[in-house]
Structures are given as C-alpha cells and as structure tokens.
Amino acid sequence: MDNAKSYKEYLINITTFIFDVDGVLTDGTITVTTDGEMLRKMSIKDGFALKTAVDAGFNVCIISGGSNEGVRKRLKGLGITDIYLGAHNKIEQLDEYLDIYNIKPESVLYMGDDIPDYPVMKLVGLPCCPQDAAPEIKAISNYISHKNGGKGAVRDIIEQVLKVHGKWNANFDAKYD
C-alpha cells in the first residue's frame, strides 16, 4: 500500500473485513477459571458493528490463533460464518478465504494487534490496529484506531467504512421507528 495516501482513500474499496480476536475483539486479557476455562470479554458495540457489516453485505472473517469455542458461538450469533480458530499460520487461512470467495487482497481490511498478525497484514489493502497494538504492528498499519482492543476499535473502523459506502445508518430509521 502507498503510505503517502490517507487511509480514508482506501475505505471506498473495502469489501471485506478480517479481524483477529485476542487483543482486537477482546482487550487481550483472559480470566482462567479453576477448571482451566479461559474467559474473554467482547464489546457489545463491536458486536453491533460486526452484525451491521454482515447485514450490509460485507464479507466478514475471523482469523485467530485462539481456539475458544465460546468465541466461535458468539461470532456465529452475529452472522459471521467464516471463522478460523487455532490459526497458527494466518497466511494459509487468508489465502484460503480469499480463494474461496475470489476476493482481491487490496479490497481487504485486516485488524490485528500483535506479531502473529504481522505477515498477513503486509498482504492486505488496509492494515489496521487498535491503539494498544504492539509497536511493530503500529508501524505497518495505515490506520491506528483511537480505541483499544476490545474497547471499540472494531466498531470504529467498521463504522468509518460503512459510512463511506452509505451503509452505516441507511436502514436504522426504518428498522427502529
């Protein structure tokens, strides 16, 4: 991507959102119960934005190194069908996903927060990250949200893209009147 251009110039070309989970959809912390279950918190506002993107016809995919089935259940409940958990080589999952749906990398926005996201972020049209991402990830991101992971960073970027496409509040009045 041409770093001289503003990230906003790329928003109109985005058709696909790909997100990491831990540190992006969550704040990167886990609570470990006495039986070893690992609990995560996700923002309802991020969830609303994800559902809105799906309903507006955008491709939404999750690629995460984590393998918590509760995460899968939550995301499926939002209408996301392409969920890759336990992904240790995220490029393989990216290539598979793009191939299945015939998506061009330049139309993809990927939000990651840490070193495992680095290789895949170098391959997409708009690499993004939360405010509290690792320095290496911030260095390659064309957009750094003013929100932290799990605290609205996903909502922030989805809302911007959908507004540029005229799909953020297009049906809200009819839906909620």
Has residue 7 been placed in a domain? no
Report the pLDDT value the prediction gives residue 101, as an integer from 0 to 100.
Answer: 97
Domains held by the chain: number: 1
Report the pLDDT value the prediction gives residue 127, as an integer from 0 to 100.
Answer: 98
User: Domain range holding 23?
Assistant: 13-176
Has residue 8 been placed in a domain? no
Which residues, in sequence order, are CB contacts of 118 under 8 Å at separation 6+?
A: 112, 136, 137, 140
Has residue 5 been placed in a domain? no
Q: What is the mean pLDDT of each run of 10 residues along the chain (177 residues)?
A: 70 97 95 90 96 97 93 96 95 98 98 97 98 98 97 98 91 55
Task: Provide the 3-class DSSP secondary structure of residue 174.
Answer: helix
CATH code where residue 127 lies:
3.40.50.1000
Reading the block at residue 106, the tokens are 């330049």
Report the pLDDT value the prediction gives residue 172, as an integer from 0 to 100.
Answer: 62
Report the pLDDT value the prediction gives residue 174, as an integer from 0 to 100.
Answer: 53
Report the pLDDT value the prediction gives residue 1, as an integer from 0 to 100.
Answer: 47
Which residues, in sequence order, are CB contacts of 77 under 8 Å at separation 6+?
A: none
Report the pLDDT value the prediction gives residue 38, as an integer from 0 to 100.
Answer: 86
Reading the block at residue 72, the tokens are 């899968």
